[in-house]
Amino acid sequence: MNMLLKGLAWRSGEKIMKGDIRIQNGLISEIGYALEPSKRERNISFDNHFVYPGLINSHDHLEMNLYPRLGNPPYHNYIEWGNDTYKPKESPIKEIEKVSFKDRLLWGGVKNLISGVTTVVHHNPWNRFLSTKEFPVRVLKKYSWAHSLGFGKDISKSFPNDSKVPFIIHAAEGVDEIAYNEVNKLSNLGLLKKNTVLIHAVALTIQNITMLQASKSSIVWCPSSNYFLFNKTAPIRQLKKLINIALGSDSTLTGLSTFLDEIRFASQTKLASTTEIYNQVTLNPSLIFGLPKPSIDTNKQADLFILPIAHEDYAENLIHSYSSDMELVLLDGDPKFCSESIAKELGLKRNFANVNGSTKWFCLDVHQLKKRIQKVTGNVVEASPLWKLID
């Protein structure tokens, strides 16, 4: 959809810019001040709003977001948690695993969409549905993965031959000797390299940190999941000075309902500044996963979202935002999620739902999706906070 977005503000380097953004054929085609609209584009005026490049969620299991948090923490490591919670013949797993895989993935896409996420790094096998127009967000396609040392087999065979393809693996997820030994084991297997991406990395020694720095490996930080399971998270204060760190939500099995909730939680830990966290959901993951640098600039993909300005600081404003604040989310210049008022200006008349009490338009029929899921699961899914968030 071609459109002219007028009166916006955004950050470019250290400066706050103000002006209009023209979007044509999925790209930002022009940026300027007092641009004249044409008859072939939608013209939308904004007052007191920031526009942001779409966020990157660096860790999610897209098909696992119908669950409430499971388990009785704290645990010593992820193996202990997995053995305690994976009971496929019991509720809620028994019911949720009967939902079509496509619908489970789609619900994970919705979770990310309502937070202004336009790109997700999925930690499970690639599924063709993820690259269809029906899926509401972009999903990283070029990646290699293993679950973990504890639940993986022959993980060395999963490591890519192409050094530009990221290798993603859960590692050092816990607080005991098993967790603390995992980085050494990965090193002994020759799997600590520049394209290695460790998820969680809670249990790290000083020697481990030195090894990760030397190998130029990266880390994805999932603080809410870590604190839920172990009452501890990765040593971010030390790591952020030496290693590229991105932020991930994990699934709702252990994480929070939305990526914005995760961003807010990360800020509350005081382990990273607002600017550092902003970089962890934009620039840093683009470097880790070989994605285009997120920015507001001409000839860039129009992956954008718009929020009202409640805080003068650009990063601070994002950190204190909720899904109900989202005015507009664009993927390749097409609206995917927006407020009721913006939907009217865009001529969008169907697929409305309430998100945290605010009426929003979706690019898919969320009510029908929920009906399909609930027909299979009954009331089991009502225990999930994300389920309750979208009505």
Q: pTM to 2 decimals?
A: 0.97
Token couple for 13? 């380097």
As a residue count, the chain comes to 391
Residue 198 located in a structural domain:
yes
Q: What is the pLDDT of residue 112?
A: 98
Residue pair 53/8 in contact (Cβ under 8 Å)? The answer is no
Please indicate, yes or no, if residue 234 is contained in any of the structural domains.
yes
Strand arrangement of the beta sheet that strand 218-221 belongs to: 144-146, 167-171, 196-200, 218-221, 245-247
Is 369 a domain residue? no
Is the pLDDT at 54 greater than 90? The verdict is: yes
Total structural domains in the chain?
A: 1
Residues of the chain with pLDDT > 70, as a percent, come to 100
**Residues of the domain holding 280:** 56-289
Q: Band of the pLDDT at 255, cuts 50, 70, 90?
A: very high
Answer yes or no: is 381 within a domain.
Answer: no
Whether residue 39 has pLDDT greater than 90: no
Looking at the domain assignment, is residue 312 inside a domain? Answer: no
Q: What is the pLDDT of residues 292-321, one digit of tens each?
A: 999 999 999 999 999 999 999 999 999 999
Q: Residue 172 falls within a domain, yes or no?
A: yes
Q: What pLDDT, in 10s, does the model give residues 136-192?
A: 999 999 999 999 999 988 899 999 999 999 999 999 999 999 999 999 999 999 999
Kindly report the CATH number assigned to the domain that includes residue 183. Answer: 3.20.20.140
The proportion of the chain whose per-residue pLDDT surpasses 90, expressed as a percent, equals: 97
At 335 the pLDDT is: 98
Domain-embedded: residue 90: yes
Q: Is position 327 within any domain?
A: no
pLDDT of residue 14: 87
- In tens, the pLDDT along 193-243 reads 999 999 999 999 999 999 999 999 999 999 999 999 999 999 999 999 999
Q: Which helix (H) or strand (E) holds 200?
A: strand 196-200
